[in-house]
Every structure is written in C-alpha cells, then in structure tokens.
Amino acid sequence: MNRSRRLLTTLPLLALAAACGTTPPPPAKPTFVLVHGAFQDERAWSELTPRLQAAGHKVVAVRLAGRAGDSTALSTITLDSYREQVAAAMAAEPAPVVLVGHSFGGITIAGVAEKLPERVRALVFVGAYLPQAGAADQSMAKLAEQDRWNGFTRENFVVAKDYQSAGVLERDVVTLFCGDCSTEQQARTLRDFHQKEPLKPAGTPVVVTAERYGRVPKVYVKTLRDRAISPQMQQLMIERTPVQRVLAVDSGHSPFLSQPQALAQALLEAARD
C-alpha cells in the first residue's frame, strides 16, 4: 500500500541526515481510528486499545450518537451523522489514519472514505459489512438480509413502538455476539453492549464509488466463528469487493473481547502494509 512512494520520500531524508552526520527520527506510526458496530459503543475497544498503544500507535475510539446516556434525539441521527462524527475525530490527525470498522462500522467507515479518501491510509474491516462500490442499496439492513448463514431471525429483535430504535433479545445477545467469550466477557457483553440501536442509519444505503472509496487500500479481518455476520457472508462480500489482504481471527463476532491480542496483531500487520 503505497510502499514505493513512502520509500522514495524517505530516501532523500536519509541522504541528508547522512551528510550531516545525524540519524533521522523514525517516521511516526499511523493513528488508528476505531469505529464500533451496532448495539455497542467505544468501550468495545477497551482491551484492544492499550495493545495498539504499546506498539507506539495513537488510538482514537469514536463514540457514535445514540449510545446509552446520549441525549441526542434518535429521530435526528442519520448515517451521515455517523460519517461526520468519524470525520471530526480524524480532523486533528496530521497524517492519514488507519480507519477500523467493526460490524455496522464497516458501512460507516466506507462512507468516510468516500468523502475523505485522501485522509485514510487504509480501511480495516473487522467482521464487518464491506460495501460494494456502485451497487444498489448497500444498507446494513439489506446486507444482513443476504446473510442466510447467520444466527439472526426476526424473533431476535425488539423494535421500539415509535420505530426509532431496535434491540436484541437478552437471551440471544451472548450467542450472537460473544459465544466464544469467557463467562466474565459474556457478562460484560450483556452489561455494556446490550444497547438499543437507532434504526434510521441501519436502513440507509451508503453510496460509495470506485473513484473515491475504491482507491483506498482495504484489509479484511475475518472472524471465523461469527454468528452475527457469518464467515460465508464475509467471504461473499470480499469476492464482490476485492481487498489487498485478508487476515483471520479464530473468534466470534467480538474478537476485541475474546481474542484482543490476536486482533491487535492483525491490525498492526494491516498498518505496516
């Protein structure tokens, strides 16, 4: 991913430093901007963040509107709202970032890349929806309907009476999101990630083009025991939208809980490309 261009940029600096008898500082490592999925918030990344920081990376975990404790009216939250929140989180970073999306976060980061391709060094999709450039109706709802291998049914969901939000039945949360987790991690899943999700963004198609979204390098991290977005659906999306690299973590839908070290290694590998 742009390795030759970075090398050409670095060589003159090395030559200048050699002439001056000094060693230049190593180039700054890219910032990771992490975008959580549906029914969750930025706490999903709490086990992952210190591992990335220990490797020398700055980490920004975005909290999207509509999470527990947020007073934003659900009727005002849109997919564009999510895109603008992530763009704002990236604005303070001087260099292009590694933009990571989990689950529904894949749709969100795709929209950001369409708007700001020059600000994204790489897109990393972690067990995430991977939109196809130029395709019709790339909404989470429509993509989820295509996944006939996952564990979701209409009986898994509870839709609010005003149709502004939906939640997953408590009895199904662990099985769908963290079946491979420890007892403690499963308890945390029920406590922290059993949230209602605004419905409007989930039903809104993201519009992405080959000219903008398509030019941003992409890495997909497959979650091999996933029951929310099945491995079969993940592979189907990869076939529709080829990526530069496919990595894998032997986990369910929440590798940031059950396999944080393996996920950290995958993200660090993606950032080195």
Q: What is the mean pLDDT of residues 221-240?
A: 98
Which residue matches tokens 């934003």? 72
| pLDDT at 5 (0 to 100) | 47
Give me the residue spans of the domains in the chain: 29-272
Work out the average pLDDT over 103-112. 98
Report the amino acid identity of residue 55. A
Greater pLDDT, 206 or 9:
206
Q: Encode pLDDT of 10-37 as tens digits.
A: 444 444 444 455 666 677 899 999 999 9
- Sheet containing 165-168: order of strands: 157-159, 165-168, 197-198
| 94, amino acid identity | P
* φ/ψ of residue 59, rounded to 5: -130, 130
pTM of this structure: 0.90
- Determine whether domain 29-272 maps to CATH 3.40.50.1820: yes
Q: Note the pLDDT of residue 9.
A: 47
Q: Which two tokens stand for residue 4?
A: 């030759």
- The percent of residues in the chain predicted with pLDDT above 90, rounded, is 84
Residue indicated by tokens 């890219």: 30
| Residue 20 or 145, more confident | 145
Lookup: tokens for 144: 């989820």
| CA 194/CA 68 separation, integer angstroms | 10
